[in-house]
Structure 1
Amino acid sequence: MLLPKLAAIYLSLTLSGVRALECSQEIGSDFLSVDAGGGQAFAIRTGDLVYRWCNYRWIPVMGTMKQISVNGSTVYGIHNTWHLYRYLHGSWFLMDESTIQITAKHTNMLYSIGELLGNIFCSLLDKNDPTYSSWKSSFITMSVMACGLHDCWGIDSNGNLRYLITPSTCAVQLSFIKIYGNFVTLDVSDNGVVYAIDSNWKLHRSIGVRTSVTTLEPLLPEKKIRSVSVDGDLLWLVTVEGTIMLCNV
């Protein structure tokens, strides 16, 4: 569900013509990033302040985090000490350290990027112990990683998009799919569509999914976007000015 009233429709150029994205009016200020999944959304503001979207407004959450990954009631955060926390019942519980990024949207699996070498680690979620993790290193390095329900993509050290094979065994394999570019961040929808932001703060969307992706199309070419997160048919965006937009996709 979008914000109460849609104030604008932004046009996005595609390979086949012009596609309209229906987006809300930009709101707020000083936002740095946003992450949404399973009907919940969390955002980080200047000073690593954490907020949760509730009843059409941003509610402050205790504590400070540099990065948030959310999938419904499953919420993780990384502190500026690189310690990993899980958000449970309104509080943050310490799990691990030496983590620079976390993604929790893949089915029953948690992926992280280690602080020292940038290796991807995987841990199966333990329903009986929500703060326990047993990490398995893939020895594959990525600067950024994002997952949908079934698919994961990463950005390598050269800024290229790479499709990651993530079997149910919690292993990670590097596929042959490479999309050249200078990308800085991304997210993946539950149906496998990739949304990526390049170094010029331009937003792109994949044409095709998984190994059929060969190119990307621009979205909102008149906007500069610093953070993207997709949840179902909703696209959450943070502009370089620090405002938040919510679009139907």
Structure 2
Amino acid sequence: MECANVFPVELVVIDDLPSVPQPPAAQRRNNLDRDCTGKAANTMKRSFILLMLVLGSTEANRCTDVDGVLKQIDAGNGMVFGVNASGSVYARAGNSWILFPGNLKHVTVGPAGVWGIGQNMDVYQLVAGTWFPVTSERLVQVDAGGERFVAGVDRFGSTLCLSQEELGQVGRNRSLNFRSVGSRMRYLSCGPLGCWGVTLAKDVYYRLNVRPSACLGTSWARVFGKFQMIEVATDGHVFGVSITKQLYMRKGITADKPTGWGWTKVQIGNLRFRHVSWDLGHLWLLRDNGLVVRCSHTDNS
């Protein structure tokens, strides 16, 4: 049963994240953002447009508490999975959580299927309701949101991936080897336009030229901001939880400019968060205490 708490939603268009020193190049970029933003009336107008495009109109959008306490959550391809502090795995079915078999510390769902990380950092794929080990690699985080490829991070922060071709061998070879992407990250998330990573220092980077057949990409491009995690949705939306546990959405993302051009702060009441995921018009969030919040857009047309 859904909880009764309903939270107001406010979008604030900002040029950069507060309380983070800016290098000269980032400052010049922010000046360009200000030129595009214009006066306060234009800022309010763009806030409304962003709200309409991402979360729907204010009349149709609402954020409410959802039953359950989770450690991590992921949504994609019309499914929602989560794990709690004891490792129990849950999937969302209607307005309820269904207990799944297995004991995991991390779960992900997307175009590449449903994958999980066991308590011993083993990597599994969910096949016909059973978790099958697929590699000898030990990971702490995995992401299935890429276009039919899987990426992840090991305990040393190394970034790794399995390409579309390699995934095709999963059914025949249960000991696939992830390929090294390079660089040190604490979190990695991929979508239709590529992969975003958060370093151990909580800086944000975008991986250039990532494709299903070439998941390694070519190089990293710095994106301004300090974040705990970045989550890329199946439809390409990018959300992040900042070092101050506030929710942000990346604006201006296109195929020609996959890193976008700025961050929008999404203020939901006075809540602070530790995890975010987005799919099919639903924003799934974990509060700092593990309580689940869902922001939904109902199309009344």
Residue in structure 2 matched with residue 106 of structure 1 by the alignment: 146
Post-superposition shift, 1:33?
A: 1.5
Whole-angstrom distance in 1 between the partners of 2:263 and 2:287: 20
SS at match of 2:65: coil
> Structure 2: which 5+ residue stretches go unaligned?
14-42, 56-60
**Is 2:280 aligned against 1:232?**
yes
Distance change >3 Å, CA 23–CA 44, structure 1 → 2: farther
Kept after mapping to 2: 8 A contact 1:124/1:134 = no
Whole-angstrom distance in 2 between the partners of 1:192 and 1:30: 27
What whole-Å deviation, never above 9, does each CA across 1:71-119 have from its counterpart, x for those lacking one?
A: 2681110012111111111221112231111111111211111223x22
Aligned pairs for 1:69-148 (under 5 A) are 69-71=108-110, 74-96=113-135, 97-116=137-156, 118-125=157-164, 126-127=167-168, 129-130=170-171, 131=174, 133-148=176-191
Distance change >3 Å, CA 24–CA 5, structure 1 → 2: farther
Residue in structure 1 matched with residue 231 of structure 2 by the alignment: 187
Kept after mapping to 1: 8 A contact 2:9/2:62 = no
Among candidates 240, 243, 246, match of residue 291 of structure 2: 243
Post-superposition shift, 1:141?
A: 2.0
Kept after mapping to 1: 8 A contact 2:112/2:147 = no
TM-score when normalising by structure 1: 0.87
**How many residues are aligned here?**
245
Whole-angstrom distance in 1 between the partners of 2:78 and 2:64: 20
One-letter amino acid matched to 2:262 = T
Distance change >3 Å, CA 177–CA 214, structure 1 → 2: farther
Could you tell which deviates more after superposition, 51-60 or 205-214? Answer: 205-214
**Is 2:241 aligned against 1:197?**
yes
One-letter amino acid matched to 1:49 = S
Percent identical residues: 21
Distance change >3 Å, CA 112–CA 73, structure 1 → 2: closer
More strand per residue = 1
Post-superposition shift, 1:216?
A: 0.9
Whole-angstrom distance in 2 between the partners of 1:89 and 1:194: 30
Whole-angstrom distance in 2 between the partners of 1:220 and 1:171: 35
How well do the aligned residues superpose, as a CA RMSD in angstroms?
Answer: 2.5
Kept after mapping to 2: 8 A contact 1:98/1:115 = yes
Whole-angstrom distance in 2 between the partners of 1:142 and 1:49: 26
Whole-angstrom distance in 1 between the partners of 2:142 and 2:81: 14
Distance change >3 Å, CA 74–CA 190, structure 1 → 2: closer
Question: Which has the higher Rg, Structure 1 or Structure 2?
Answer: 2
Kept after mapping to 2: 8 A contact 1:6/1:23 = no
One-letter amino acid matched to 2:229 = T
What whole-Å deviation, never above 9, does each CA across 1:22-58 have from its counterpart, x for those lacking one?
A: 2342022321111011001101112111101113200
Whole-angstrom distance in 1 between the partners of 2:184 and 2:289: 31
The runs of at least 4 aligned residues of structure 1 exceeding 4 Å deviation read 3-7, 18-21
Post-superposition shift, 1:6?
A: 9.1
Aligned pairs for 1:18-97 (under 5 A) are 19=48, 22-71=61-110, 74-96=113-135, 97=137
> Structure 1: which 5+ residue stretches go unaligned?
none
TM-score when normalising by structure 2: 0.73
Post-superposition shift, 1:128?
A: 5.5
**Is 2:255 aligned against 1:207?**
no
Kept after mapping to 1: 8 A contact 2:152/2:161 = yes
